[in-house]
Amino acid sequence: MALNSDMDSSRHPAAEDNDDIKGRYVYEYPRPAMTADNVIFGFDGERLQVLLVERGIDPYEGCWALPGGFMRMNETIDQCARRELREETNVRDAYLEQFHVFSMPDRDPRGRVVSVAFIALVRPEDYAVIGGDDASNAMWFDVESLPPLAFDHYDIVDMARAYLKEQLSIKPVAFQLLNPVFTVDELRKVYEVITGNVYDRRNFQRKLMQTRVVEDLTEQDCYEAMPTECKCNMSCEDLADYDEMSRRKPKPRSRKLRFFRFNNSHKSESESE
């Protein structure tokens, strides 16, 4: 008995529906566009900062906004966030984390646009920010003195700040804003600008040491942790002093000015838990 052509395996719907040319699975419903917006926080030693771009096109041409843009058909939303950040600010390799979805129907005058918001903590001195693509400029701004922002980006920044404050209470994210070697006062200042609270220096240091999140450094430790370019700028006398010090048994620094670094072993213990 001959097989009916409709039963031929070569004509199985799954075989010809991979490329849905006729649009049988395209429903007659409006479909929203998808964007990614990046909230990149930095710390200048005194204030919490956020990276913004100046829009070079309408809508909101000339207005400041978060770096971001539309997702392409051949990329994930995470890839979109990284690409837009790189194209508009020249910031690369920052660890981006999704923290919220913004979907108010009237949030974008171009139509129905849903935005996935990402957050990252970086050291501004590690990046030479340059406006690119459809961004005519890129700059760091104090989060307490933001210029007028496009779209609903005020709301996104506010939500990112609340999320950062929440994360700070459960894991040591503040260290991402600091140099590898830092003082207690620098770390305390980061906590204050994120939480909005004021901390007593002695109590803050005592509680910090009890957590084992940081480790106290000797002078030799500080030198070894120093960036290579800083060592190159040291005088011969300074290098000779450090060479002599390295042959001696390390001694703790003066209690007046102690330096610390993040305890990587504590990070490993937290991740294993």
pLDDT digits (tens, 9 = 90+) for 258-268: 778 887 765 54
* pLDDT class of 238 with cuts at 50, 70, 90: low
pLDDT at residue 265 in the model: 66
How many residues are present in the chain? 273
* pLDDT class of 4 with cuts at 50, 70, 90: very low
* pLDDT class of 269 with cuts at 50, 70, 90: very low
Q: What is the mean pLDDT of the chain?
A: 82
* pLDDT class of 225 with cuts at 50, 70, 90: low
**Is the pLDDT score of 85 beyond 50?**
yes
| Nearest one of 69, 78, 74 to 97, comparing CA atoms | 78
Q: In whole angstroms, what is the distance from residue 211 CA to residue 183 CA?
A: 16
Residue 165: CB partners within 8 Å, gap ≥ 6?
Answer: 194, 195, 196
Phi/psi of residue 168, each to 5°? -65, -25
**Is the pLDDT score of 14 beyond 70?**
no
* pLDDT class of 68 with cuts at 50, 70, 90: very high
Q: In whole angstroms, what is the distance from residue 59 CA to residue 22 CA?
A: 35
Residue 132: CB partners within 8 Å, gap ≥ 6?
Answer: 87, 88, 89, 90, 138
Q: What is the reported pTM?
A: 0.78
Q: In whole angstroms, what is the distance from residue 107 CA to residue 33 CA?
A: 12
Over residues 131-176, the pLDDT tens digits come to 999 899 999 999 999 999 999 999 999 999 999 999 999 999 999 9
